[in-house]
Amino acid sequence: MSLLPVEEALERLLAGARPITATETVLLHDANGRVLAEDLTAKLTQPPFHASAMDGYALRAADASTPGAVLRVIGQSAAGHAFGGTVGAGEAVRIFTGAPVPEGADSVVLQEDISVLDEGQVRSAVAISQGRHIRPRGQDFAEGDVALTAGTRLDFRQLTLAAAMNHPSLPVYRRPRVAILATGDELVAPGGHPAASQIIGSNTFGIAALARDNGAEVIDLGIAGDTRESILAAVERARGSGADVLVTLGGASVGDHDLVQPTLVSAGMELDFWRIAMRPGKPLMVGRLGEMHVLGLPGNPVSSLVCGLLFLEPLLCRLGRQSGSRRMTTAILANGMPANDKRQDYVRARLTRTENADLQAESFGKQDSSMMRIFSQSDCLIVRPPNAPAAAPGERVNILLLAQAQGWSSTSWP
């Protein structure tokens, strides 16, 4: 089987992915990052009454159309404690922000534009226009308004609106379920005591974090040894958990101890493709086991995480109805790069900004796919297309951002 180009591999993976249709209802506190499954209508009107936008005095504009008007204060209106009477000619009510505007009043004068006189009177220093400093009833939304539409990804803004609309819980699409299985007799869980021929298995934790960052629910299947029985038992646990995606880590190549692919095929997996024209990450496997997507990632940590970014992330975005992560952008090279071969390279690099505020990428000298320390220090991956000619410092290249939270600008994904 020849090596498959990255773009074609991603297209084939996503072609078979259908957004999850199952829904559930969750409390507001649990809805952050979820995708709304139904249009949401307001259960009340906001504000529910004409409300003061400022601290001051509520009055009739006709009584203070010119500076110097004197009015008699007949009461007070505060948030949660409305004035029960009616404002008549020559009268005013002390009012505070958010409080209901009393009957008869049609304007609010700011407290700094008022002088307090003796015997419960005040004088306005400004001319007042009708409706001044009043938030009319229903200014934000009215009962029955559709204020949030199905398909909206909920964050702090939408959750605040939903709460104001008097919704204690929300209908959302179920999150994708990702079962992660590390494989190999050489792996020991963190905190364990590896023997002389063993290493700590770290990939699970990076892939799990990436999956959660993309809205998924993670099911950790642990580490399966290099036996068909161990792998098959884990696959049954993935099926029993209702996983939408089974991610295997390691063992998907064709060595004598690489049992994942033949074992999954014997269990009914339809292999779509494997072996991608990319570096790191060539031994990537994609298939289906019934309704469950199977994504076999390489065992080397960096290869595993790069493939996770390129394939697992967009797959989860498609299943979970999320807009794709915005990781791709461009930068100028800080150092030269040699000509590339037939595989697409993803080169670890640091980002800085030039004096002109342009992004500048400097590749690390070592790129071995087992070196996690360098990966953790990288801000991006420089994308080198197959057969790309040598590139000189100052040339513009495509990059895939790793550290979006640090403020590096980006465009679109993939």
Residue 127 DSSP label: -
* Domain boundaries 51-135, corresponding CATH code: 2.170.190.11
What pLDDT does residue 413 have? Answer: 38
- What per-residue string of b and e applies to 162-201 under the rule 16 or more CB within 10 Å gives b? bebbebeebbbbbbbbbbbbbbbebbbeeeeeeeeeeeeb
Share of the chain above pLDDT 70, in %: 95
Q: Which amino acid is at 192?
A: G
- Residue intervals of the chain classified under CATH 3.90.105.10 are 23-46+140-173
- Residue intervals of the chain classified under CATH 2.40.340.10 are 328-406
Cα distances (Å, whole numbers) of residue 242 to 33, 49, 218, 266, 385: 21, 49, 11, 20, 38
- Which of these ranges, 9-13, 19-23, 151-155, 251-255, has the smallest mean pLDDT? 251-255
What pLDDT does residue 412 have? Answer: 41
Q: Which amino acid is at 325?
A: S
In the structure, what pLDDT confidence band is assigned to residue 409 with cuts at 50, 70 and 90? low
Question: 27 forms bridges with which residues in the sheet?
Answer: 169
- Beta carbons of 175 and 215 less than 8 angstroms apart: yes
What pLDDT does residue 414 have? Answer: 38
Both structure tokens of 59: 């009055």
pLDDT tens-digit profile of 165-176?
A: 999 999 999 999
Cα distance between residue 139 and residue 119, in whole Å: 37
Cα distance between residue 383 and residue 170, in whole Å: 41
Of 235, 250, 265, the C-alpha closest to 185 is: 250
Evaluate whether the domain defined by 328-406 bears CATH number 2.40.340.10.
Answer: yes
- Beta carbons of 9 and 273 less than 8 angstroms apart: yes
In the structure, what pLDDT confidence band is assigned to residue 200 with cuts at 50, 70 and 90? very high
CATH superfamily of 23-46+140-173: Molybdopterin biosynthesis moea protein, domain 2 (3.90.105.10)
- Beta carbons of 398 and 412 less than 8 angstroms apart: no
Report pTM.
Answer: 0.88
Residue 375 has pLDDT above 60, yes or no: yes
Residue 115 has pLDDT above 50, yes or no: yes
Rounded to 5 degrees, what angle do the CA atoms 299, 300, 302 make? Answer: 130
The sign of the torsion formed by the CA atoms of 155, 160, 162, 168 equals: positive
The sign of the torsion formed by the CA atoms of 302, 308, 309, 310 equals: positive
- Beta carbons of 319 and 408 less than 8 angstroms apart: no
CATH superfamily of 6-21+175-319: MoaB/Mog-like domain (3.40.980.10)
- Residue intervals of the chain classified under CATH 3.40.980.10 are 6-21+175-319
DSSP track, 243-279: -SEEEEES--SSSTT--HHHHHHHTT-EEEEE-BSEE
The beta strands (E) that lie in 105-216 are given as 107-110, 114-116, 121-124, 134-135, 146-148, 169-173, 177-183, 187-188, 199-200
Cα distance between residue 87 and residue 101, in whole Å: 10
What pLDDT does residue 222 have? Answer: 96
In the structure, what pLDDT confidence band is assigned to residue 407 with cuts at 50, 70 and 90? low
Of 237, 296, 353, 390, the C-alpha closest to 13 is: 296
pLDDT tens-digit profile of 252-301?
A: 665 555 799 999 999 999 999 989 999 999 889 999 999 999 999 999 99
Cα distance between residue 362 and residue 379, in whole Å: 10
Query: How confident is the model over 78-83, as a mean pLDDT?
Result: 97
Q: How many CB atoms lie within 10 A of CB 36?
A: 22
Three-state SS for 73? strand
- Beta carbons of 388 and 340 less than 8 angstroms apart: yes
